A and B are shown apart, each in its own frame.
Chain A
Amino acid sequence: MNNGMLRVREVNLFRSQRRVLAGVTFDVARGELVALMGPSGIGKTTVLRVIAGLETFQSGTVHVEELALNGGDDHAPATLQQLHAKVGMVFQFHHLFEHLSVLKNVWLAPVYARGIPQREAELRARELLAVLGVEHRATALPRELSGGEAQRVAIARALAVDPALLLLDEPTAALDAGRRAELRDLLRSLTHEGRTLLVATHDEDFARHCATRVLRVFDGRVSEDSAS
């Protein structure tokens, strides 16, 4: 995998005998911003969760750089630990830690997962919040944020641990047109830093203007979008 960041091969996933993913196969190169398109409930989120190690699958393989996740196994804690050093995820419903301030949401993982001194992590967190335009909400609690603010804090939290591959699930769902444009610019700038992004969305306009490539999910399979 020379320039490959992500390689997904023949991933099959069943839930209660229902086939959710049927031989999903695709690649994402380093620095790409790939949109994973398809209507709601078609399995886009499941693909992201499989890559993030949050779901086990019955067969197939997922490689993130050289790290492999194999179907049919429960992922070993050590494998997940390595995976989570490479992959970050922004959830559709953000899942910000409800009991912590915005600032602490962002510096928590750098300090306790990466061992960065708190002072340094806090400075970096403030910078990220500033870049994302939510520094003024540093002391707020997640429940006090608007949908757009929560979205940007969730991105800041994911970026704080500096993942090579960032997965975003329906990032535009809670945003108006102006905010969507801002987000598009932000995601593009992230790819300029060499980061790879895989974005699950059903927002055609967003995908067309933002993604370097579009993948379509249909009937449990992923295929290259013919128009992209």
Chain B
Amino acid sequence: MTTFASFWSRRKTNFGSIVSTALSRSNIVRAQGPLRVACLTALTTLILPPFGAEPSESPREFRWAGDPEGGAPFVEADPAQPDKLVGFDVEIAELIARRLGRQTSFINITFTSIDQSIERGDAEIGLSGIEDTPARRAAMAPTVPYYRFREVLSVRDGDATRWRTLADLRGRRVGTLGGTIAYETLLRAEREFGIHAVSYDDDVHPYSDLVIGRVDAVLLDNVLAERRARALPGFVIQPQSVAIGHYVGVLASRNAGLRDQINEILRNAMRDGTLEQIFRKWRVWNDDQPALHAQVLAGEPIAADKGLATANTTTVLSAWQATLRYLPSLLRASVVTIVLSCLAMALAVVLGISIASGRVYGSAPTRKLLTGYVEIMRGTPILLQLFVLYYGIADMIRLPAFAAALAGLALNYAAYESEIYRGALEAVPAGQLEAARILGLSERRVLTLVRGPQAFRLALAPMTNDFVALLKDSSLVSVLTVLELTKQTQIFATNIGSWIIPGLLCAALYLAMSLPLAALARRLERRWKAATA
């Protein structure tokens, strides 16, 4: 569930840490009593935006984490009052806090980072439609399941009779939310049925892409599918469920005591009907829930969610097993990253040279037009440009994800490249140009034979720098469902519940791509500098 808000939420989390660090290093932390409270409150109010409540030391607060981006009906900003959160997970958090005698304090965390954030202590519990997986049971302290959901397949209205199951979708693109049991299920279906799994960062765009034909089916929780079906016409939910799963609250493994207290609260809420009231209010109560509640209250064991029936892919793996299992997909994602980066850079260089030439040699209107382009592309976030290219203009031009990613990166980097080339062209000494002109060379020949080659040598170092930056910025295209290295690493980390091995592997692969590039550029620079110094 990542879009702008999740970037913001990430920033908020980081900002919170920065504020904490700053406070702990300042005199404010040494201030006592009311003065300290006043200082902290004032700073927190000034710096932190809505939803971004800073973790507090007060035991009266019950800090819970969720992702409101596309989070209905779990956690979402109330459309009528955007600074207020609503959703059944919000009400469950409030129920738990009330029965613990505490007050809720919400921490906004990207969906795929909730486990890590809980483990590091940003919040005490994560509640945001979090699945009860074996990995989560092994690494965290999840609560008892409080809701049973079904993974259901949605297809366009016209395909309802021919695509009923995953097995019917050979060669077709099936979308889902990354880092979920549904995604694991699709990865397994890739091997078993030959489908093509498409990972999204949120649970809204899979359905809009389904309707416009970018994917042929969506596999997601019935809660999400039913909610989207009410708002978006054009698709149907197949009645046969692919898998059954459960939502849990997730706590840090060291917090088992609090987890047990919360389990008791949830059981009581099942007994006294409070949970049923909440779910009915959000129109998600169905026949599966009484059965689940009866099982929980009877103390019957409930299996962790495993995706496809008989799947053994989600059993708890050792770090080594997990690494071996994910390494091929990380390598494939690295290929996507390097191919995308190389193509985007090549396009950016060609476009950048054209823009720079137009700005140096063009007529006044051409120069103004190109300057406007450069300022717009440099002055707006690349993420926004990617969204506009992929989703914003989808009604007019329906670009495939890779093409949109390539175009987005190339168009954005072309603006930066053009400034490098313009600066380099203007840095070539005037005497060189005059010497060329007086020999009778045309302006085009002056550019291609004298000015261009000399400018290129000046531009090489900043170009290399930009290429390395592009290699890393290519991770942003995961928002367009392109499964590149960072996204694949995130999925890996989410599924094993740790960032250590995935992070190290990912860093090693990025370095393996960028270091040779930097070395090659240094070699070229040395050679050309030696030739012209």
- The count of residues in chain A whose C-beta lies closer than 8 Å to any C-beta of chain B is 28
Given contacts A108-B449, A112-B445, contact A98 B437 (CB under 8 A): no
Q: In this complex, what residue of A is CB-closest to B441?
A: A113
Q: How far is the CB of B436 from chain A (nearest CB, A)?
A: 7
Residues of A within 8 A of B453 (CB): 99
Q: How far is the CB of A43 from chain B (nearest CB, A)?
A: 18
Q: How far is the CB of B99 from chain A (nearest CB, A)?
A: 77
- Complex contact B438–A141 (CB within 8 A): no
B533 in contact (CB, < 8 A): yes
**Binary flags per residue of A74-112, CB closer than 8 Å to B gives 1, else 0:** 000100110011011101010111110000000011001
Residues of B within 8 A of A98 (CB): 432, 454, 532
- Complex contact B435–A95 (CB within 8 A): yes
B440 in contact (CB, < 8 A): yes
State the CA gap A54–B533 with chains docked (Å): 27
Residues of B within 8 A of A88 (CB): 438-439
Residues of A within 8 A of B532 (CB): 98-99, 141, 143
Interface residues of A in 36-65 (CB under 8 A from B): 52-54
- Complex contact A108–B434 (CB within 8 A): no
State the CA gap A54–B450 with chains docked (Å): 17
A5 in contact (CB, < 8 A): no
Residues of B within 8 A of A87 (CB): 438
Residues of A within 8 A of B454 (CB): 98-99
Residues of B within 8 A of A91 (CB): 431, 434-435
B531 in contact (CB, < 8 A): yes
B457 in contact (CB, < 8 A): yes
Q: How far is the CB of B72 from chain A (nearest CB, A)?
A: 62
- Complex contact B441–A52 (CB within 8 A): no
A208 in contact (CB, < 8 A): no
Q: How far is the CB of A165 from chain B (nearest CB, A)?
A: 11
A161 in contact (CB, < 8 A): yes
Given contacts A98-B454, A113-B445, contact A84 B435 (CB under 8 A): no
Q: Which of A93, A95, A113, A141 has a CB less than 8 Å from the CB of B440? A: A113
Given contacts A99-B454, A143-B533, contact A114 B440 (CB under 8 A): yes
Q: Sort chain B's interface into a size bin.
A: 20 to 34
Q: How far is the CB of A124 from chain B (nearest CB, A)?
A: 14
State the CA gap A114–B440 with chains docked (Å): 8
Interface residues of B in 493-533 (CB under 8 A from A): 528, 531-533
Q: In this complex, what residue of B is CB-closest to A84?
A: B440
Q: How far is the CB of A13 from chain B (nearest CB, A)?
A: 17
Given contacts A108-B449, A141-B531, A143-B532, contact A97 B435 (CB under 8 A): yes
Q: How far is the CB of A74 from chain B (nearest CB, A)?
A: 14
Q: In this complex, what residue of B is CB-closest to A92?
A: B431
A157 in contact (CB, < 8 A): yes
Interface residues of B in 426-468 (CB under 8 A from A): 429, 431-432, 434-443, 445, 449-450, 453-454, 457
Q: How far is the CB of B452 from chain A (nearest CB, A)?
A: 10
User: Which of B432, B439, B450, B533 has the most chain A CB within a 10 Å cutoff?
Assistant: B439
User: Which of B437, B450, B528 has the most chain A CB within a 10 Å cutoff?
Assistant: B437
- Complex contact B438–A54 (CB within 8 A): yes
- Complex contact A80–B437 (CB within 8 A): yes
Residues of B within 8 A of A77 (CB): 443
- Complex contact B432–A161 (CB within 8 A): no
Residues of B within 8 A of A112 (CB): 441, 445, 449
State the CA gap A77–B445 with chains docked (Å): 14
- Complex contact A52–B438 (CB within 8 A): yes
State the CA gap A141–B528 with chains docked (Å): 12
State the CA gap A98–B532 with chains docked (Å): 6
Residues of A within 8 A of B429 (CB): 95
Interface residues of A in 1-59 (CB under 8 A from B): 52-54
Residues of B within 8 A of A141 (CB): 531-532
Given contacts A112-B449, A113-B445, A141-B532, contact A99 B457 (CB under 8 A): yes
* 24 contacting pairs across A/B (C-beta < 8 A): A54-B437, A54-B438, A80-B437, A84-B438, A88-B439, A95-B431, A96-B435, A97-B432, A97-B435, A98-B432, A98-B454, A99-B457, A99-B528, A108-B441, A109-B440, A109-B441, A112-B441, A112-B445, A113-B441, A113-B445, A143-B532, A143-B533, A157-B439, A158-B439
Known: A91-B435, A98-B454. 12 other contacts (CB 8 A): A53-B438, A54-B438, A84-B437, A95-B432, A97-B435, A97-B450, A99-B453, A99-B457, A112-B449, A143-B532, A161-B439, A161-B440
Nearest 6 pairs between A and B by C-beta? A113-B440, A109-B439, A95-B435, A95-B431, A84-B440, A98-B532
